[in-house]
Structure 1
């Protein structure tokens, strides 16, 4: 039986992870749960799974939920609570599914304790990839990808020699606005942006998909997960989201991973790797699908993807600032303070004001993150 801690338990990935646990109660036990502000769902989860430790976003929320939880559950809050749940239980697998750079401290703490990490929080590697991967190497910890694209590449590389890879290709659905011109994007609304055509995801991730920031973050994450240079990481528009990603080898052979758009499949694979369990997810019928479509990525249409590649190649704090500026810009868009197109404008302007620091330590990264957020909030 595998012991699991979930950071970000009330989010889209977190809830689907717990769904997998419920499908296989003989395989998994929940040791820790951490959530942000969704107290109703958090209370339900803690009472259903009775973890040893649980954490909520703030002291005020902790005081509010404490009377509603089992007496034997240790309750924490804030960043320290995330760290307790990630590193302070008997869990051998920690699913890092919290949104944003807040996932970095608990992930580092879990790695330091030697726990296998399921990486669903791409911002952790985008913000401090060199620190995370170096610590994982030192501790002998495996970083198992959960994102469907990275899980696909992970599976396509299984048993293969990385030196024989010509390139990898991450597929992109294109998000809610994939068929709109830049002129048509001028008047789109928050409600429009949240209508992802294929996947059921959280609000922030859905908006990142519409701007193509999400794919840019995935490119940077792939660089760190698979130790590949950026010129070996490509992106291809694939509206159906059936081929989740693929690897082309130097002999011209292409190995792809296919499946229906259901995040429970890569989540479960990460939790059981290298074994595979039966899944209740709908099976893929290529006869039903009939045709698959692909389009080259247009970086003029999706400038945030171009910015992500540029930041990745620069390295250091450039990717930290890219991520932080985007988080603030998306939050402002979600509060209806700015129009959709201003997200990319804010990111580019913040980057233009930043002087990157190569091989930055954690303190420098955190300072760059704070500066980027403060700057993005004023633009």
Structure 2
């Protein structure tokens, strides 16, 4: 029996993780869950799965869940705020934490989980982007495993099985290209939020969908891959693959390439992570190669979709540069979703933030410095870029 907690249980990855648990033949037990404000969804989850512990970031939402549990005589402990997330991440009964919250909020509970010697099923890419060096060091010190849940990193993880870092020639991250693949800057000036959210292949939350449209999602994945697989940025290549059948590849020093293929179903990498590389019953639709008419590949346009270029630059700079990149992007995406800026302004805002905070990029990479620069960057973007 694998006992787990899910941080961000009401989001896209969290909901799909629940489906993996449903179909696990009771081999996976859900002990703790967290959410932000989604009270109604949480009540449904409680009724079906009966976790022992629940945390809501919003205190009013937590009070609502507490009342619900009392009214129904559910013996469930309810927590709130960031301390609640940390509690869910460090429960004595669990073996693994699924970190599927979106954004910087996942950093502290992930660190706490690692220090509590819990394996991590990592779906929160921002954690490694802003603190990859810290996270991987703590993982080694506490002898825990990090299992990537992103389809691309799961694919690389699988393609690397049995090989050493020295065997790698390069890692090839595939990208669908998002809803604006092939479009130019002139076209992007007039796109709407609704168009940006309309991903052609994957069903994702709003923030990740916007990141996919700007190619920032792939930029963050480049930084994440650098830390997960101890691979230099010069050996990480992004390639546009519109069919999203090949989820990523690894080229080895003998010029052989190993790829992982599968349907566009996040339950597959989730299942692989939850079962710690043990392959179980099929949970996703099988590929029918007779029906796949073509597999095509394109070079990404990093001038039109500058976020990818900025991510490479920040990753290579290291220090606090990736954190500045991530924080500026999160706020810019939030402003777009609030319809306070245009889609085309996102990379400009990020570039301005990287320049404005250039003197702070080389500060020591500590949790305190990360949280401090995160606050400063968000305030800068809010005060100057709307």
Equivalent residue in structure 2 for 1:350, among 338, 350, 353: 353
Q: 247-256 or 276-285, which moves further after superposition?
A: 276-285
Q: After superposition, give the CA deviation of every residue in 1:302-335 in whole Å (9 maximum; x if it has no partner).
A: 1100000000000010000100000100011001
User: What residue is the counterpart of 2:114 in the other structure?
Assistant: 111
User: What residue is the counterpart of 2:48 in the other structure?
Assistant: 48
Residues 130 and 359, structure 1, Cα contact 8 Å, conserved in 2 = no
Residues 33 and 51, structure 1, Cα contact 8 Å, conserved in 2 = yes
User: What residue is the counterpart of 1:4 in the other structure?
Assistant: 4
Displacement after TM superposition at 1:99 (Å): 0.3
- Please say if 1:373 is aligned against 2:365: no
Residues 92 and 115, structure 1, Cα contact 8 Å, conserved in 2 = yes
User: What residue is the counterpart of 2:263 in the other structure?
Assistant: 260
Relative to structure 1, the CA distance from residue 36 to residue 277 in structure 2 (aligned partners, 3 Å threshold; closer, same or farther) is same
User: What residue is the counterpart of 2:18 in the other structure?
Assistant: 18
Alignment of 1:170-249 (within 5 A): 170-249=173-252
Rounded to whole Å, the distance in 2 between the matches of 1:76 and 1:343 is 35
Residues 350 and 376, structure 1, Cα contact 8 Å, conserved in 2 = yes
SS in 2 for 1:288: coil
Displacement after TM superposition at 1:357 (Å): 2.2
Displacement after TM superposition at 1:358 (Å): 4.7
Q: After superposition, give the CA deviation of every residue in 1:143-180 in whole Å (9 maximum; x if it has no partner).
A: 11000000000000000121010000000001111132
Alignment of 1:336-347 (within 5 A): 336-347=339-350
Equivalent residue in structure 2 for 1:293, among 291, 296, 301: 296
Rounded to whole Å, the distance in 2 between the matches of 1:331 and 1:279 is 37
User: What residue is the counterpart of 1:284 in the other structure?
Assistant: 287
Residues 31 and 89, structure 1, Cα contact 8 Å, conserved in 2 = no
Rounded to whole Å, the distance in 2 between the matches of 1:89 and 1:152 is 31
- Paired positions, count: 379
Residues 335 and 341, structure 2, Cα contact 8 Å, conserved in 1 = yes
User: What residue is the counterpart of 1:161 in the other structure?
Assistant: 164
Q: 304-313 or 346-355, which moves further after superposition?
A: 346-355
Equivalent residue in structure 1 for 2:145, among 130, 139, 142: 142
User: What residue is the counterpart of 1:68 in the other structure?
Assistant: 68
* Runs ≥4 residues deviating over 4 A: none
5+ residue gaps, structure 2: none
User: Superposition RMSD on alpha carbons, in Å?
Assistant: 1.0
TM-score, L = length of structure 1: 0.98
User: What residue is the counterpart of 1:329 in the other structure?
Assistant: 332
User: What residue is the counterpart of 2:365 in the other structure?
Assistant: 360
User: What residue is the counterpart of 1:59 in the other structure?
Assistant: 59
Displacement after TM superposition at 1:61 (Å): 1.1
Displacement after TM superposition at 1:46 (Å): 1.6
Rounded to whole Å, the distance in 1 between the matches of 2:65 and 2:323 is 34
Q: 306-315 or 285-294, which moves further after superposition?
A: 285-294
Rounded to whole Å, the distance in 2 between the matches of 1:260 and 1:360 is 38
User: What residue is the counterpart of 2:28 in the other structure?
Assistant: 28
Displacement after TM superposition at 1:290 (Å): 1.6
Q: 60-69 or 104-113, which moves further after superposition?
A: 60-69
Equivalent residue in structure 2 for 1:127, among 130, 147, 154: 130
Rounded to whole Å, the distance in 2 between the matches of 1:196 and 1:62 is 33
Rounded to whole Å, the distance in 2 between the matches of 1:24 and 1:260 is 19
TM-score, L = length of structure 2: 0.97
Residues 144 and 270, structure 1, Cα contact 8 Å, conserved in 2 = yes
Equivalent residue in structure 1 for 2:93, among 90, 93, 97: 90
Displacement after TM superposition at 1:279 (Å): 2.1
SS in 2 for 1:170: strand
Rounded to whole Å, the distance in 2 between the matches of 1:299 and 1:288 is 32
Displacement after TM superposition at 1:289 (Å): 1.0
Q: 120-129 or 81-90, which moves further after superposition?
A: 81-90
User: What residue is the counterpart of 1:39 in the other structure?
Assistant: 39
Rounded to whole Å, the distance in 2 between the matches of 1:243 and 1:335 is 34
Relative to structure 1, the CA distance from residue 169 to residue 358 in structure 2 (aligned partners, 3 Å threshold; closer, same or farther) is farther
- Please say if 1:318 is aligned against 2:325: no
Rounded to whole Å, the distance in 1 between the matches of 2:152 and 2:309 is 19
5+ residue gaps, structure 1: none
